[in-house]
Structure 1
Amino acid sequence: MKRTSQTKDARSSPTQTKETSAKAGYSCWCPETQTAIKLLIAARFTAALMSNISDCDETFNYWEPIIICSESYLLRLIIYSMVKGSRPGNIHQLMQFAHMPISFYMLYLATSTHLYLVGTGCLLGFVCAFCEALFYSGVRKTFGPNVARWTLVFLLFSTGMFISGTAYLPSSFSMYMTMISMAGWYFDRCEISIVATAVSTFISWPFACIIGAPIAFDCLFRRGRWIFFIKWCLLSVLLVLVPQVAIDSYMYGKLVIAPLNIVTYNVFSEHGPDIYGVEPWMFYFHNGFLNFNVAFMMALVALPVAIVTSRIVSGKFVEDNGKLPVWLTMMPMYLWILVFFTRPHKEERFLFPVYPLFCLAAAVTLSCIQRVFHHFISPHKKQHFTVSSDQLAITIGVMFGLLSLSRTGALYYGYHTPLDLYPEILNMAADPKVHTLPPDKPINICIGKEWYRFPSHFFLPENWSLQYIQSEFRGQLPKHYDSSPDATRLIPTEMNDLNKEEPSRYIDVKKCHYLIDLDLPQVSDREPRYSQDKENWQLVLTSPFLDVQMFSQQCPFLLHSVPL
């Protein structure tokens, strides 16, 4: 990794470490920003093609509402109902995502529904890659080239970024804003950080303000820029919150301050989000290891490792720009961990906003390991620490990459079935040899225990309606939107804010023309094995699906039809 001449960035960067500057014939190589963004775009486009819809909120709260411009059979979950003090709706996310330029083309010109999802995912992936490139550049300025290049490796290959980068969720949008906010901070453009944090907090997720707290501390108490901070906070409120409140209030027909309602529901209501399930304290540790493997463990110990390393190895760890100490740069991630790891209700997407910070923190730890290795073990003390510790770092990086690709591949091959099978419904409906009913006849396609894997109405032909049958799931199922023009202003009936089962959602299974179900050996009164009922059902399509309870056993994901 030695170089006989320095790169342009290395010559011009004012943030080189003393150790690097002392060796005029060597500069620690890392990719240029232009190269990084090309790699990141390739990674995110791959995710758009291969990633699953892993969260039912993504379908019912985000994919479904964007059909509001052209369809009337929309669904929504209780958490976005206006009834009984529930959160007021996701019109702010609808305005944020649904009116993207690609939407018009795909809704009105494209003929493939799968192409719509992929096209939207690619657009989200491009935005994510751009934000990652900004974040990478900021990391290179503040932490130096070695930390930057390993941050880039973790961003490119981690399963967590693969999942979150193109997900159609507000937590992914908050992740984008996190990267912009951190980049602004690292480049000493705090106004960018303030606006990005405000956009994330107001438009996407109010709890994202936690990430901006260390930036506010730095601006107010370390730099004393009170007037600057207050000015940009007021501008952010005027530019972001005021238009948002106006749009939401118009769409709902009453005053709506969505961020305030979300906080009120989650923090100050009697039950909060716990009615949707609670998880043990180890949940995020398991999830973090699956999505980042060894990088997650390194990220958790980044701050103590960096502090200890700075004491035992000469020279400061963080580049000496005179402004950002390492403990402060690590605070956004640790504050997020402190808040969300201690909440009973846990979901994978709640960690999306700090996924890039996991990558940075892991790179900080790895660089510290390299420095300690060079200081205590390397016989070549005059070499740059990255030269003597290259093999160690590469070994850790290769192990991380293999584990990450293994996990990403397992998600695709084990759980991609819904996005493989549902597109076949369109082909089946157009085949008169299979679908023999009149084309104008209303068709009921039913789901029971597989309701949360429904990808969206994009995959259903015209005149086909999604219906529910009973299963062992006893919570509240999504409900169809009203078809009237002022549907967003109507308070739906037969809804509750306690996640209690609503029997009105179900239809008699005898009224189903088609049924999608997962064929498992476990049966109950509500979940019989429909595949064994040869008198009433015939098999039309199957696709393999990994049953986690059966470990490696492949169970067919079934589509049945009433004998025609």
Structure 2
Amino acid sequence: MYTSMLGLAAFLDWRGGQKVAQGIMWFGLGAIVGWPFAGALVMPLLLEEVIIGFIAGDLWKVISGILGGAVRCLVILACEVVVDYAFLGKFAVVPWNIVAYNIFGGDGRGPEIFGTEPWTFYFRNLLLNFNVWFVFALCAAPFLLLQAAFRPRATSKETLFRTVTLITPFYMWLAIFTLQPHKEERFMYPAYPFLALNAAISFHMLLSYIGSNNPKEMVGRLPAKLKLAAVMSVVLVAINAGLLRTLGMITAYRAPLKVFEPLEQLSVTQAGESVCFGKEWYRFPSSFFLPNGMRARFIRSEFRGLLPGEFPNAPDYQTLLEGTSRIPAGMNDRNQEDPGKYVDVSECSFLVDSSFSGRATTDLEPDYVHDEAQWEALACESFLDASQTSLLGRLIWIPDLPMVPDRFRRHWGEYCLLRRRKSD
């Protein structure tokens, strides 16, 4: 996302001449060090540069810039290969490996084995996270066509061509990933700067139309204060919707980032102890939340896919390199369960678990939170019970006040860090 933003800024900034090489470098950095598919976003911008160079008779300058950007990307790729070789102990072009697995993986491989979503997934997700601005982003092309058709004086050929180029990457990205069966929210991250740009262009065209004082147009005869009120209403709705969404997400789902705090107390933990995860394995934020000397372990749950592996302890730099170059036992590229990842619950000094009134327990997923004979709660945080909360309560923050009707109120479960009780 950040390199896409910097690359887009380079292509937009024509002060002192075009910055094709710089723009390619930023997109290349994101594609090589980050996610290789993000590099596709540069294609419409490059096509525009080539067309402009051809029309202006200065195509060689554009080609020179493209070659300069390619050289910079090759330098970045070479640096990455060197670093990867040091840690992996073998030659590897990681961006190509990602592309090869996701596109040419073959039967039983590829992103689809990790789940699929309907085509509406990204539309619902982006509408939730960007509210009005996502609608504006989608309206960029229709608004541009309407402006070109009914207000041709406001849209020169140069402006039309430039605007089409700038709004295309977002539509292209959204279309490509909407067609993919496997969908994740993070896949939209590289296109966020283009979503914001599309929304800004749409809003600018709308403001240009509303701000017209041409008496031949109906909008030109409206009072200025009424126009200002209409515009500010849209802006305030967007701001408040964003704030309510952000506050709702923080208050509903912050528990996995909070419950580990007691482990930092010296009197609570001892070296070599383990904190275990069962059904909550996928909410474990990172081992960086655990004290030095404590390891995360997994116990059996109803999940039947491949759990994360772990690197061996590395007391020195040489051991670190040996550990990163070794593939953990049981790893595979088919999301097949590895029984070797599990430990028995009796080996767990601590356990992270959740309890929701709307969730049924099973033999593999008992209610550890209320098993007070075996476990004591060190820290418990409220966690939104999505199965018992209405749609509105899941979307935005709603205050827990008595005056709020029960059907709109948010309902809560517990997310706890448990410690095994010591036997007498």
| Residue 558 (structure 1) aligns with | 416
> Equivalents in 1 of 2:153, 2:159: separation in Å?
14
Deviation at 1:265, TM superposition (A): 0.6
| Residue 235 (structure 1) aligns with | 71
1:274 aligns with 2:112: yes
Instruction: Give the alignment partner of residue 302 of structure 1, picking from 98, 115, 140.
Output: 140
> Equivalents in 2 of 1:409, 1:369: separation in Å?
30
Report SS of the residue matched to 1:279. coil
> Equivalents in 2 of 1:307, 1:354: separation in Å?
22
> Equivalents in 2 of 1:292, 1:418: separation in Å?
25
Deviation at 1:317, TM superposition (A): 4.6
Report SS of the residue matched to 2:243. helix
**CA deviations over 1:239-288 (Å, ceiling 9, x no partner):** 21222222222322222111111110111111311111111111111100
| Residue 189 (structure 2) aligns with | 352
Deviation at 1:461, TM superposition (A): 2.4
Query: 5+ residue gaps in structure 1?
Result: 1-174
Deviation at 1:455, TM superposition (A): 2.1
| Residue 393 (structure 2) aligns with | none
Deviation at 1:418, TM superposition (A): 1.6
Deviation at 1:324, TM superposition (A): 5.1
Assess if the C-alpha contact under 8 Å between 1:193 and 1:215 holds in 2: no
Give the 3 Å change call, closer, same or farther, for CA 250–397 of structure 1 in structure 2. same
> Equivalents in 2 of 1:264, 1:350: separation in Å?
17
**CA deviations over 1:451-496 (Å, ceiling 9, x no partner):** 1221222222233221111112211111111333311222322111
Assess if the C-alpha contact under 8 Å between 2:350 and 2:417 holds in 1: yes
Assess if the C-alpha contact under 8 Å between 1:546 and 1:553 holds in 2: yes
> Equivalents in 2 of 1:513, 1:322: separation in Å?
65
One-letter code aligned to 2:146: V
**CA deviations over 1:503-547 (Å, ceiling 9, x no partner):** 111111122111110112321111111123232222332111112
Instruction: Give the alignment partner of residue 543 of structure 1, picking from 367, 373, 381.
Output: 381
> Equivalents in 1 of 2:259, 2:5: separation in Å?
35
User: Identity across aligned pairs (percent)?
Assistant: 31
Backbone CA RMSD of aligned residues:
2.2
| Residue 123 (structure 1) aligns with | none
> Equivalents in 2 of 1:491, 1:531: separation in Å?
35
Assess if the C-alpha contact under 8 Å between 2:310 and 2:328 holds in 1: no
Alignment of 1:35-434 (within 5 A): 175-188=1-14, 189-224=19-54, 225-226=59-60, 227-270=63-106, 271-317=109-155, 325-374=162-211, 376-380=217-221, 389-427=227-265, 430-431=266-267
Deviation at 1:206, TM superposition (A): 1.0
Query: 5+ residue gaps in structure 2?
Result: 314-318, 390-409
Higher relative contact order (CA 8 A, sep 6+): 1
Deviation at 1:500, TM superposition (A): 1.2
**CA deviations over 1:321-364 (Å, ceiling 9, x no partner):** 77952111111111111211111111111101111221221122
- Count of residues paired in the alignment: 378
Assess if the C-alpha contact under 8 Å between 2:21 and 2:70 holds in 1: no
> Equivalents in 1 of 2:298, 2:191: separation in Å?
36
**CA deviations over 1:217-239 (Å, ceiling 9, x no partner):** 11223323353244214322332
> Equivalents in 2 of 1:372, 1:481: separation in Å?
59
Assess if the C-alpha contact under 8 Å between 1:245 and 1:256 holds in 2: yes
Assess if the C-alpha contact under 8 Å between 1:181 and 1:197 holds in 2: yes
Instruction: Give the alignment partner of residue 495 of structure 1, picking from 331, 348, 368.
Output: 331
> Equivalents in 2 of 1:412, 1:285: separation in Å?
22
Assess if the C-alpha contact under 8 Å between 1:468 and 1:506 holds in 2: yes
Alignment of 1:472-483 (within 5 A): 472-483=302-313
Assess if the C-alpha contact under 8 Å between 2:21 and 2:67 holds in 1: no
Report SS of the residue matched to 1:254. coil
